[in-house]
A = this chain, B = another copy of it.
Amino acid sequence: MSAIEVLFLSKEDVDSLELSLEDMLDAVEMGLDAHGRKDVLLPSKDHIPLDWPQNIFNILKGYVGPIRSVGVKVLGDFSRNHEHGLPSELSTLLLIRPETGAPYAIVNSTAITWMRTGAVTAMGAKHLARKDSKVLGHIGARGTSWYNVAMMDHIFDFDEIRGTSKRPESRERFCRIMTERLGKEVRVMDNCLDTVRDADIIIDASRLTEEEVLVPDSAVKPGALLQAYGAVLSVERTLPFSVDKFVVDDWNQCHTSKYGTFAGMIQEGAIRDEHIYGEIGEVVAGLKPGRESDEERILFWHKGFAVSDIVLGHLAYEKAKERGVGTPLTYFASPRDE
């Protein structure tokens, strides 16, 4: 057997690829479609809860059929990392061939995590929001927020985008930079209620460490899509029952992981099978309709799953190979059966 080589991609290597919004959205849509058609293996994500919710590791893993790739992502979610000048989430993705178990790429997936979360948010909006959605209300200003707003605006070309977050300097910077990038105003808002009230699409990417209602039920108008995916509950407990459709990414995973916005309500039996309309993959694959009327209030909760990391990590790997980006490493120079 010849040497086993693996390609290492740093944070800056991934940044330098400047993956296009289209390529990312296409890759994630392909992954969701495969999930819907059950052409994936997706064991439950799990955790090393060092000191939850301040510090926790999430371990995501799976197999994606259409690209024949196994992936494991280890993500540290450290809510106080900004005190060290670090993003809260640092992560590493290992991509492996399913024929022999040999890895082929090791990727700093810090940005990939943001991209894939943004892309799933955008896919949720594409399939579950009103096509004529014009007003976006967005809570959160770090990590995934950049991609949430950029990708959804790419799809919807909003008339009005409102942004807020807990720390004033953080939300001001976010709205200023996004305004430049999109070439349209992203309004900085100083409170959550004004940000989300009567918006067509409401995204809550807050990073609470204690429960707090940031999005009251009454702010979610008929026809609106709400996505809330922070670590800690930020909506009213009545919301999952007052919406017309509650869509998740992977219902098995929602059951088995005890962390994340609605996890507590699932654990205690408040949210059960009968409350769930379906999985986003089923909608993307055409197995279930998405939005069926302009009046529906829809809730989409994505906990995040390995499928999206794997498809985007694989996309980054392929682009990097094409362009000679990254550090090729010899993983095993002279493999033999020992």
Is there a chain B Cβ closer than 8 Å to A193's Cβ?
no
* A202-250 interface with B by 8 A CB criterion: none
Given A76-B100, A81-B101, A100-B76: A59 touches B61 (CB 8 Å cut-off): yes
Whether A337 lies near B85 (C-beta < 8 A) is: yes
Residue of B nearest to A50 (CB): B98
Interface 1/0 per residue, A44-87 and B, CB below 8 Å = 10111110000101010111000000101011111001101111
- Among A270-278, A293-301, A328-336, the one that faces the other chain is A328-336
Question: A116 → chain B, closest Cβ, in Å?
Answer: 15
Complex interface: chain B residues within 8 A of A61 (CB): 46, 48, 57, 59, 74
Is there a chain B Cβ closer than 8 Å to A90's Cβ?
yes
Whether B101 lies near A338 (C-beta < 8 A) is: no
Oligomeric state, in copies: 2
* A11-67 interface with B by 8 A CB criterion: 11-12, 41, 43-44, 46-50, 55, 57, 59, 61-63
Which size bracket describes the interface of A in this complex? Answer: 35 or more
Is there a chain B Cβ closer than 8 Å to A94's Cβ?
yes
Whether B10 lies near A101 (C-beta < 8 A) is: no
Whether B100 lies near A81 (C-beta < 8 A) is: yes
Distance between Cα atoms of A4 and B90 in the complex (Å): 11
Complex interface: chain B residues within 8 A of A92 (CB): 94, 103, 106, 331
Residue of B nearest to A337 (CB): B82
Given A10-B332, A59-B61: A338 touches B46 (CB 8 Å cut-off): no
Distance between Cα atoms of A134 and B334 in the complex (Å): 36
Complex interface: chain B residues within 8 A of A81 (CB): 100-101, 337
Question: A334 → chain B, closest Cβ, in Å?
Answer: 7
Distance between Cα atoms of A8 and B10 in the complex (Å): 13
Complex interface: chain B residues within 8 A of A48 (CB): 41, 43, 61-63, 70
Complex interface: chain B residues within 8 A of A120 (CB): none
Given A12-B333, A142-B337, A335-B87: A96 touches B76 (CB 8 Å cut-off): yes
Complex interface: chain B residues within 8 A of A90 (CB): 4, 100-103, 332
Complex interface: chain B residues within 8 A of A332 (CB): 10-12, 90, 108, 110
Question: A291 → chain B, closest Cβ, in Å?
Answer: 32
Is there a chain B Cβ closer than 8 Å to A158's Cβ?
no
Whether A87 lies near B57 (C-beta < 8 A) is: no
Residue of B nearest to A336 (CB): B85
Complex interface: chain B residues within 8 A of A98 (CB): 50, 55
Q: Sorted from nearest, which 5 A-B pairs have the closest CB atoms?
A: A76-B101, A1-B85, A82-B337, A11-B332, A90-B101
